[in-house]
Amino acid sequence: GLNYHYGLFRQSFSDMKQTEQPDPWLSDDRSWLTDTGISFPVKFADFSLNAKMYDIGVPGYHNGISNALHLFDIEEPAEAPENGISFDKSDIRHHLTSFLYPDDSDQAGHLLRIYQQYFMVSAAAQLILYELEQRGFKPQELAERTVVHINDTHPSMIIPELIRLLTLRGIEIDHAIDIVSRTCAYTNHTILAEALEKWPVSYIEQVAPQLVPIIRDLNARAAAKCPQSELAIIDDQDLIHMAHMDIHFGFSVNGVAALHTDILKESELRRFYEAYPDKFNNKTNGITFRRWLMSCNQALADLVTQYIGEEWKKDAAKLADLLDYCKDDNLLDELVAVKHKNKLALADWLSRRGHDDINPDSIFDIQIKRLHQYKRQQMNALYAIWKYLQIKKGNLPQRPITLIFGAKAAPAYTLAKDTIHLILCLSDLFKNDPEVSPWLRIVMVENYNVAAAMQLIPACDLSEQISLASKEASGTGNMKLMANGAVTLGTMDGANVEIAELVGQDNIYIFGRSSDDVIEMYRTNEYNSSDFWQDDEVGSLVDFIISPQLLKLGDPSSLSRLYKDFIAKDYFMALLDLKEYIRVKETSLADYENTKVWASKMLVNIAKSGFFSSDRTISEYNRDIWHLN
């Protein structure tokens, strides 16, 4: 990887809008970051940089094994930016490793991303061959001794770069391509077209022109095998499709949830699946229970151990032993007590961050994930408006509700930032309305990150997993929340499908159109959001975005832009599923009042979460793809 100096960004809220500042995760104390003294030259079109290698130790769990994460950095990184997260993206020599995922809304940002990617893969490829040769093996043995796993398309240039380095070692091009094709495997992490990188050939020529002849050669070879234009590596717009290169010249292609892999095979990558059916396989994502249960929720971990022993800590599948206690009143009572303790702790944590008077006896309804329209935080906000209007009419809920959001919006993603603005405006409106605040509150957690997640996840009652069906590859937040006893409210999307199959319909709340329906609606352009807006109930919720109450609090241009998008576009179909979402959420809130039944749902979710251990995921990767001894 790259030794980034600043994370995505540090989020703060000013005038109920997101602002971004640098997030310097590399502190002055870098005792955990080891300078290996190893470096590799990386040649770009107009200059070269040395890639210095640093290591971070990654210890195993009680097994005496520690691996190393290799991170590459430039020799003369720039000082901290003086103006937020803005910096000179053309100053590659000093800013190549400054930021994780720098803004790529312009050409300079695109080129910087390519510089970052080539710097990483060139250094990594040189390291791989160096280690191979140091162990006494020949470059020709690469495929027998090494697996290179291309995790999403960011490292895709490893394929032409390894081919280039092998030919420099005297290996004939046909043989080099064969070796690399037996070395590289590819994981697809997304269904969104925007995340499947396509770079103009001219951009690669500006950054790493030495790769262009190799990529053109690979394109010609792919076309000879698969002449269909939609399978080309270089299309008729002279764009290089990185995923296409990975599929043609890798030996394995996997999705990260059963539904995701099915969609890849049947829709998004169907032609590739027809050409290479044996390459495709599924590897459902997983989480580490050492962090997401043992570390972040010690009280629950101790309770689990009290009833089923220690084995689950190394074999999460053993959590299924909890199913023997689904009707054990003692365990269910203790489980409810642990959840309440965690809610008290979260309320205190939030209070210290400016969110006063959070009621720990309210239901904690939590949606925590990056802000993107396909994840549909905007639909959750419309529910909040619906509930607000119900309370104003005198229809009080059985129990107070606290809606908690945690999300960062990409700095150039205007509608995502507008959604944050709407949520913050609603939060202010509810908090300052004495008729509403005892019954309904919104909390938008500032600078949501892993540390915040470790506070939020143990306290969650209802886990919001409401992406538009067919758009979420997998998700892992759904797994973390499930393992901590949250009950899922979600669509049949991503790993929600497997969660539903595991826990059964009585222990999850499912709503929304199916992925097949959604895919068909996109194909036929059938969805028209204005048709749904004309429904009186739906329309009143959307119209509230530009109501006098909100326009008085917020930025009219931001709120109006979001309002117009709902009516004219709503690309991720929030209005399509909205009424069913409200109905099913209301059912879940009513069910929460039966404490014993809800506690049983919690226990089933914890017991069934063991399938989603990253130990299982990694074992399957090794069994089917890596074949490591």
* Predicted pLDDT at 551: 98
- Give catalytic residue positions: 189, 369-370, 375, 476, 480
How far apart, in whole angstroms, are the C-alpha atoms of residue 471 and residue 187? Answer: 16
DSSP string across 417-483 = HHHHHHHHHHHHHHHT-TTTTTTEEEEEETT--HHHHHHHGGG-SEEEE-PPTTS-S--SHHHHHHH
What are the b/e assignments for 582-594, b being 16+ CB within 10 Å?
A: bebbeebbeebee
In contact, 477 and 493? CB cutoff 8 Å? no
How far apart, in whole angstroms, are the C-alpha atoms of residue 122 and residue 44? Answer: 10
- Cβ-proximal residues to 533 (8 Å cutoff; 6+ apart), any chain: 539, 542, 566, 567, 575
How far apart, in whole angstroms, are the C-alpha atoms of residue 145 and residue 572? Answer: 44
* Predicted pLDDT at 400: 99
Tokens 């758009």, residue located: 471
Beta-bridged to residue 281, according to DSSP, are: 254
254 torsion bin: left (phi>0), alpha (psi -120 to 50), beta (else): beta
* Predicted pLDDT at 25: 84
How far apart, in whole angstroms, are the C-alpha atoms of residue 183 and residue 121? Answer: 14
* Predicted pLDDT at 51: 99
Tokens 């929304």, residue located: 512
Report the side by side order of strands in the sheet with 66-73: 33-43, 48-59, 66-73
> What is the radius of gyration, based on Cα positions, of the chain?
25
How far apart, in whole angstroms, are the C-alpha atoms of residue 184 and residue 251? Answer: 6
Helix, strand, or coil (residue 340): helix
Long-range contacts, 432-440 (Cβ 8 Å, 24+): 435/391, 435/392, 436/388, 436/391, 436/392, 437/357, 438/359, 438/400, 439/391, 439/396, 439/397, 439/400, 439/401, 440/384, 440/387, 440/388, 440/391, 440/397, 440/400, 440/401, 440/403
Tokens 């520690």, residue located: 66
Helix, strand, or coil (residue 229): helix
How does pLDDT run across 543-567, given as a tens digit for each residue? 999 999 999 999 999 999 999 999 9
Q: Which H or E run includes 488?
A: strand 487-490
- The pair of three-digit structure tokens given for residue 302, joined into one six-digit string: 């101790």
CA angle 363–368–371, rounded 5-degree value? 135
Q: Domains in the chain, please, with CATH?
A: 1-103 (no CATH), 113-282 (3.40.50.2000), 359-594 (3.40.50.2000)
In contact, 625 and 527? CB cutoff 8 Å? no
- The pair of three-digit structure tokens given for residue 587, joined into one six-digit string: 């059912």
* Predicted pLDDT at 193: 77
Q: Chain-centre distance of CA 416, in angstroms?
A: 15
How does pLDDT run across 491-523, given as a tens digit for each residue? 999 999 999 999 999 999 999 999 999 999 999
Q: What is the dihedral of CA 428, 430, 431, 437, to 10 degrees?
A: -170
- The pair of three-digit structure tokens given for residue 52, joined into one six-digit string: 């210095």
CA quadruple 369, 371, 376, 382: dihedral positive or negative? positive
* Predicted pLDDT at 196: 87
- The reported pTM is 0.96
Q: How far apart are the first and last CA of the chain?
A: 24
**Mean pLDDT per 10-residue run, the chain (629 residues)?**
94 98 82 93 98 96 93 92 88 95 92 98 99 98 98 98 99 99 97 87 99 99 98 98 99 98 96 98 98 98 98 98 98 99 99 96 99 98 99 98 98 98 99 98 98 99 98 97 99 98 99 98 97 98 98 98 99 99 99 98 99 98 96
